[in-house]
Every structure is written in structure tokens, then in C-alpha cells.
A = this chain, B = another copy of it.
Amino acid sequence: MIEDKTPQRTSLAQLGEFGLIDHLTKHFGVSQESTLKSIGDDAAVLDFKDKKILVSTDLLIEGVHFDLAYMPLKHLGYKAVVVNVSDICAMNAKATQITVSVAVSNRFPLEALEELFAGIALAADEYKVDVIGGDTTSSQKGLIISITVLGEADADEIAYRNGAKENDLLVVTGDIGAAYMGLQVLEREKQVFQVNPNSQPDLDAYTYLIERQLKPEARKDVRTLLHALEIKPTSMIDISDGLSSEIIHLCKQSGVGCNLYEDKLPLDPQLINVCEEFGIDSTTVAINGGEDYELLFTIKMEDFDKIKGNPNFTVIGHMVPESEGIHLITRADTKIPLKARGWNALSEES
């Protein structure tokens, strides 16, 4: 098998492709009862018994989805798992397994891949997902990560995007916008560093925002919370591309409209401060900034009492007939049509 003869920097060319995925995942355990056979054969073997199976996949490309200038590899590995797990959480289901494929150019030594997989292992442990397969290969440029996640749920608990009804309440978990502003802070620091490599950044005022960007968490707890409250969401989606864009997805697929209330948006105090510092409108950030990996869902109006005052949930609007459209109701009580912009579009403006 592969031996690490130069602990400082082992080139991947020395290793060849055979067995690299085995080397990188050899300490990964199996925690799910549904995993019968993990890495090591032509395919993994699973048994979900009478559960339904959820499958989702994401491709992450260096220079497109992440910048290694401020994203440590271990964080990147962790986040890559989280964004996939979040897709399963967004079905009101439980993530159980992932496959991880990685392509790297030869500028990456083995130690870099080990860092990446250390982050993957940490997330796999935190979210109790088994790494059941994968592929490692060389790339022509940069780092490429492809993850497919599997999950399980009972048929009657799965929440789709198309189940929202008129008068349903629109609910979001946690707070929003922080991951986007975390990215703005990091990009500013990167530019400062490029001008003066000796500068020592003081990031104390931004810790929450930076953590939301570099180490987001998937809301695996929401399924349990809702179950305990005896609430079945009528529809659900995760906030990866930005609140407005996800609201529009829910509305289009459900055939309803929506009124979203500006004064209800849950913002962290640090976000408000930093938006002021950057001279950016915090509502714009909350609505169009992405990558928060919070969940957005609708519930029946009669379930309102069950979540009222719960610190995990904020009612931010309600669904209306499709003909009424999708609007933001501002603090000044003006009605503005909501547009899907996503954080990329926002990024170009700011």
C-alpha cells in the first residue's frame, strides 16, 4: 500500500491513482445501520429496509465555488459535506451516506488531500454520514470536489418544494445574510494582504460572519425539532442561493404567491453592524446573499401556535394566491416584486 516517505510533501505522482481513495478514507468508520458494505468493492451495498431513499449531488470547483486563499482545506472538506447534507435536510430527511470524488492538479501534495479529507471526516462524524465510495484522480487545473449524498425518511415525512398552499406561513430557521457578509470581509482581508503581506488582520468584530462562511452547518436538528412539535412542513427548501431565489422556487413549484415582510427578517446584530461599515443595505444582503444553509419552509396557519416564540424559527411571511405575485413588504409598507438574484449577481454589484 501507499507509504508516506516524505511527511512534509508527498507528490501524488509518487502514489499513482490506485488505492489513493482507500488511503484517504482508511480511518473512516461506518455508523449507519443501512451501510452493509462501504469502500473497497466495485460498489457500496446499502439496505434502507422500508425507508424511502433521498439522493442529491453537488460539484465544487476551485476558483468558481471556493478560493483557497482564505478557505483552509480542512474547512473546505467540512463545508463540501455540509452543503450536500443540507440538501437532504431540505427534504425533511436524515442524511446517511456520501460518496466523495476529488480531482487535483499536481501542485497539491498528498498532505493537502489529507487535510481536505480530515475536514470531510470531521463533518462525516458530526452528521453521522458514512463515506461509502469515491474516486481520486488528477486534474488539469485546480481542485474539484464532487459529492453525492444519500438519505432516508419515511414516505409521509418527506417535504417537497411543491406543497405550499395559500395562507400557509413562511418560516426560516436561524438568521440569514451572515455567510455572504463573511465572504465580503474575507475578500477585503485578501486584498489588504495582497497590498501588505505583513498586515495582521483584526477579525474579532467579524467572527460570527466568517464562521458562517467558512464553517456553515446543515440544520439536521430541524427535522427532530419539527417532529417533536408535531409539525409537518407543507414545503421545504434550503437557502443556498439566497432567500429571494428560494422563495421564488417554492412559489413557482407550489403554484402560489407570497408576501415577505422586511421587518420580520432575522438578522444577527453583527451582520447589521458590518453592513453599516460596508455601506450595504442589510435587507438586500439578507434577501440576496446565499450560502446560509438555513431551511425555508411553509406550515399550515393552524400550526402557528406550536412555533410561536421558538428561537429556532421565524415566521417571515405568508403564501397568497398565485395571481397576487411574490412581494417584499417593506418597513415603509411599500410592496416590491421579489426578484431572483442570488449572491453571484449581488457580488457583481457591490
> Which residues of A are in contact with B by a Cβ distance under 8 Å?
18, 36-37, 40-50, 52-59, 61-65, 87-88, 90-91, 93, 97, 99, 101-103, 132-135, 137-142, 144, 146, 148-151, 155, 158, 160-162, 236-238, 241, 245, 253, 340, 342
Contact = CB atoms under 8 A, between A and B. Distances in A.
Contacts of A91: 41-43, 45
Nearest to A46: B53
A88 B46 CA distance: 13
Contacts of A56: 42-44, 99, 133
Contacts of A162: 41
Contact of A43 (B40, B87, B99, B138): B87
Nearest to A150: B55
Contacts of A238: 42
B133 A57 contact: yes
A61 B138 contact: yes
A101 B58 CA distance: 7
Contacts of A161: 40-42
Contacts of A47: 52-53, 155
Given A53-B47, A53-B48, A91-B41, A140 B63 contact: yes
Contacts of A88: 42-43
A152 to B, nearest CB: 10
A148 B151 contact: no
A54 B63 contact: no
A158 B54 CA distance: 22
Nearest to A132: B55
Contacts of A134: 57
B97 A43 contact: no
Nearest to A86: B42
A256 to B, nearest CB: 16
Given A42-B237, A45-B91, A139 B55 contact: no
A99 B57 contact: yes
Contacts of A40: 161, 253
A140 B138 contact: no
A206 B57 CA distance: 39
A327 to B, nearest CB: 21
B101 A57 contact: yes
Nearest to A54: B43
Contact of A148 (B57, B64, B102): B57
Contacts of A137: 59, 61, 64-65
A150 B63 CA distance: 30
A217 B102 CA distance: 26
A255 to B, nearest CB: 14
A195 to B, nearest CB: 25
21 contacts: A40-B161, A40-B253, A41-B161, A41-B162, A42-B87, A42-B90, A42-B91, A44-B55, A44-B56, A45-B54, A49-B50, A55-B99, A55-B150, A56-B133, A57-B101, A58-B101, A59-B101, A61-B138, A139-B144, A141-B141, A141-B142
